[in-house]
Amino acid sequence: NAGVTQTPKFQVLKTGQSMTLQCAQDMNHNSMYWYRQDPGMGLRLIYYSASEGTTDKGEVPNGYNVSRLNKREFSLRLESAAPSQTSVYFCASSEAPGGGQETQYFGPGTRLLVL
Amino acid sequence: GDSVTQMEGPVTLSEEAFLTINCTYTATGYPSLFWYVQYPGEGLQLLLKATKADDKGSNKGFEATYRKETTSFHLEKGSVQVSDSAVYFCALSDRRAGNQFYFGTGTSLTVIP
């Protein structure tokens, strides 16, 4: 049982390049999330998918797009990377809301450096 | 809107010292409250949680009590170890806000032998 996996672990991009961060979970969770973590800012929600087939914006969606490919996979795309997107990106998943089952489980993170 | 305010760090303690990390929250409904821990180079792991007022979450010697009257969820441990060195995040999940999570800024703890 791998939990939440993310690829790649580390990436360096030049300004203007594009890339996709991959995330997969094997816990049969309905909801998936993408966060970025910056020093002194905690975690901020970029996008989330409450269930397969739906996606919604979080606190900081600008410059990103997401795809909920199936129940297991949720990808994050940077179409034209900017230095301000240098961060550590975490994917998380949880069961559907309700009944105290809201715990989120996190992947190991992707460190992205945009030059 | 919903938010979490967390004690700023960094915090440095000697081994076996008592730990308190303060956390207060603002929420429109009746949120669930969480403490997550992040060890160096790793993702966040759930440490403990409480889903209603007066509940006490506990794990690995850490405890936190959901206090609705003071809107607080302070993390405590009676005797810290070097292995507790990590960053600790307080968070809430509010069903009225679409079950989104709101995280505090994190508190870095270093325990020295």
pLDDT digits (tens, 9 = 90+) for A25-66: 999 998 899 999 998 788 899 999 988 889 999 889 999 999
CA pair distance A71, A53, nearest whole angstrom: 8
Q: Does A43 touch chain B (CB under 8 A)?
A: yes
State pLDDT tens for residues B59-101. 999 999 999 999 999 999 999 999 999 999 999 987 766 667 8
Q: Are B6 and B105 in contact (CB under 8 A)?
A: yes
Q: Are A50 and A31 in contact (CB under 8 A)?
A: yes
Q: Which residues of B touch A111 (CB under 8 A)?
A: none
pLDDT of residue A1: 63
The 3-state DSSP class for residue A83 equals helix
B→A contacts (Cβ < 8 Å), by residue, are: 6, 32, 34, 36, 42-46, 49, 51, 89, 93, 95, 98-101, 103-106
CA pair distance B69, B65, nearest whole angstrom: 12
User: What count of Cα atoms within 13 Å lies in the side-chain half-sphere of residue B75?
Assistant: 30
State pLDDT tens for residues B39-52. 988 889 999 999 88
Please state, as a whole number, how many other Cβ atoms lie within 10 Å of the Cβ of residue B47: 21
